[in-house]
Each structure stands twice: as structure tokens, then as C-alpha cells.
Structure 1
Amino acid sequence: MYEVGQEVELSMDEVYARRHGKMTRFARKKLRGMHVPETFVSPEDVVQDAFAKAYRNPSPIEQPQAYLFRIITREIQNHARRASQYAQPPAESQADIRVAIDDAGEVISDRRDVHRAQATLPAQQSAAGWATEALNCTQADSAGGVDRKPGGARAVAGLKATLTVSAALASVLLCAAGSTTIHRYSAASRNGQPQPQLMPDMPQPAIYGLWATAVVYGLMLLFMLAHRPLLRTGARARRPDWGDPGR
């Protein structure tokens, strides 16, 4: 295999000078045969390592060229074993990639649910919602589209809650005062006594003022409860033309 016949007497330096290229080509061929890529180890590195080991051998080498070829073959076998341990799996092709997409039926169903829920909202809330989500408007822009200032909806809701609580409290006080008055007048009438004064220490105008305030609060509560459906109907009639939300 190795043309050793006439190179037996060559020294290690002479083999390097004359046969270095041949050994490099031999190492490259062996690496390809064992499927070792040159990015893992190059043929030049294999040959240099073989010469380094030969020079470190303290024993005399009778056939340097044959000895070097044996070292090169053994080194390539060791590199092939190490390369197989670091072998990576084949790259995933585009055909093997699974892309997760949303179900079109679920997307359409969800949009229809949103549109139905949007239709049940008051006109101003519906318009503000579409302005914010669909048109990317800010809170100030949405409020301007329905002729309101930012925070006006929260202020109106707070005012309604305050008026409702106040009217309810006034109604309770009115009922309690009326019940006490009727009880006192009934007891005085049965015993033949003069009619008692409701609040002897309070001036009469102040008493009339309290009664009037309680009556006004009670009437406000009744007015709000009675006209609430009409107010909602009027708000829907004044709905701004911002497009059909169902589209």
C-alpha cells in the first residue's frame, strides 16, 4: 500500500519534505470515506499531529513513512468516533413545520357574540367602544365624538348614584316622620288632649322646609324611576352615525 521500497532509508525530516503533500491527500480521502467533515478536523491538522507524535517517540523508527501512515489512519478513526457523538439531527424542512392557526368558525362566532353584546349597550357606550377598539381613538377623541368631555360618563354615573341614595334616605325619613306624627295625633285624639307639636323647639318655617325637602327628594326618585326607559329610548334615537358595528 505504501511505496516503502525505496524510502526505507529516509529520515523523518526527509519524509516530511518529500511526502507531506501525499500524506495530506491521503488524510483528506480517509476523512471523506468516514464522513468526517473538514470543519470538524482538517487533513493538515491530522498530518501535523502524526508528525508530532512520531517526533515524541523516543524509540528509533525503522520505517518512518509507514509509521506515519499508521498514525494518520488511527487518528482519523478516533476523529470519526468523536464526530459521530456530536452529530446533529437533520434540519427540519419547511414541509415538517406545523403552523397553529385559529379556527375560522370560532373567530366568526366570537365576533358575532361581540356584535350582539355591543348592540345591547347604550348608544354612547357603544359608540365610545367602537371608537376606542376599532378606530384606535383615545378617551378624549371618543368623548368628543359623542359631545361629551372625558370622564363625563363617570361623573354622570356618580351623580345618579348620589341622587338615588339621597332620595331613598329622604323617603325613609319622610315615612318615619309621618308614622310618628300619625301615632302622636291618634293618641292625643283618643285621650281628648290638644294636638301635640311635632318639634316644639324648632321654628315652624324650618319644619315646613324639612317637609318640603323630603317631598322633593321623594318626587325626584319617582321621576327617575318612571322616566328611565324613556331616557334610554331617546339616547338610542340620538345615536351618532359612526358606521354599522355589525359589519
Structure 2
Amino acid sequence: MAEHVEEGAEVLGKVFEQYRAEMTGKARQLLLEADVPASVVDADDIVSSAFATALRNPGAVRQPRAYVYKLMRTEILHLVTRRAEHRLLDAKRRADPLCCPPPYVADFSALVGNRQTVVRAMSELSAPQRTAVWATQALGYTREETAVLTGRHPGTVARHTTRAMALLRVGVAAALAGALVAFGAAVGVRLQQKAPAGRSPRTDSLLPPVQWWPENWFVLVTLVLGAYALWLVRRHFSLWILSGVLRLMGLGEGLRSPLPITGCLL
């Protein structure tokens, strides 16, 4: 059985060397007749795919050249069928968008923003604190394991981790607070520019006049709710963001590789 496999593979190799140019030209002709553009697949790809399929069971191939040509035609027919299905689906989507919604594409912008915030906050920590947080929160080491790997007492690792997490929570909350303040300032300036008719906006103060607040009470409500939301974020959500981002950042490193004894891990 092994001899037949080796012989079949050897014969296919000779066919590839002898008829490669001919088969590539034939594949190019078939793709042109099937109206399959080169941006979808190239003639060389069709030939290579056909030989790869034939080499899965070379011992069963009786007429190598004819068999490869058959595989090429089958592959091109499959491409034509798949393109027709895609065109039909696009036509249905254009006719009725609610019937066939577009595919969902995940939005990673929030994760990227959170990661940047955490990285900036991590850069403000000392090297021992950064090492302790990265080992316990990102790589999944216990405090005892981190203590052994870094040559420190478990209590020292626990102290570094606790202080570092507190500082990181403050940093994440400060970043969120800054975003909220910037949003509130932008909304306030925009509303000030739209002063009521007959009244000119004040230019001697950054705050709107007293009469402006009752007429735009929703701004005050927004600020109060924003402050309350910020307090909730500071108390709960910042820790959730911090732990989640650190865990995701550690997945790329997280084969539990040995920790460096000292130095910066970011």
C-alpha cells in the first residue's frame, strides 16, 4: 500500500513538472469562460488546489493528468456556484434589508480605548507593582506563585497588588471622568450658542445666565445623572473594565511562561 502511495505521488510530481504551464493556461481559460475575476482566484491557485487534492490519496489516481483536469473543473464550478449564491443573497438584501440583515462585525473600538487607558495607568506604577498586577491579573498566577517567581514574600506581593489595583482604578475612573466632562462642556457650549430669541449670549462668564437654567432644565438633570453614573463607574465598573482588559491583555502572554524577576512587563 505504501509503495502505491509513493508511486502515485511520484507520478503526480512528474505530471506537475511536465504539464504545469499547460494546466495553468487551461485554468486561466476556464476562469475567463466562467467569468471568475482574478481578484477572486488565480489560475495558479486552481492548479495548486487540484494537485493538493490529488495528493491526499495518490495511490487511487489511475490517470493523473485527466484526474487533475477534472479536479480543476470541479473547483471552478464550485466557485461559480458560490458566487451565484452570493449574488442572490445580495439581491435579496437590497430588495428587503429586514429579511437578510448584513453580517455582524464586532466593534473593538471600546476594547482598544480601554486597553490604552489601562496601559497609560500601568505606566505610572512602580516596577514591583506593575509586575504584581501583571502576574496576578493578566497571566493568572496566584500571589504565592508570583512571590516564588519574583523572590518576594507573599505579603509583599499582596500589598503591591492591592495598592496597584487601587491606583489603576483611580486612573481608569479619571479617564472616564475626563471624557464625561469633555462631553458636558461640548453640550453646554452648543446650547449656549443657541440662546433664546431676544437675548444675547453672555460673554463675560463661562456659565450661562441664571434665567437659562429653568428653560434648559434637562441639562441640569443630565449633569446630575452623569455625576451619579460616574460614581457608579468609580465604585464598580472601573474595576470590571480594569480586570477584563488586563485579562485580555494577558491572553497573548498567558501560556504561563516564567516571569522575569524584575523589570517592566509592559
TM-score normalized with structure 2 length: 0.30
> Which structure would you say has the larger Rg?
1
Structure number with higher helix proportion = 2
TM-score normalized with structure 1 length: 0.32
Which structure is richer in relative contact order (CA contacts within 8 A, separation 6 or more)? 2
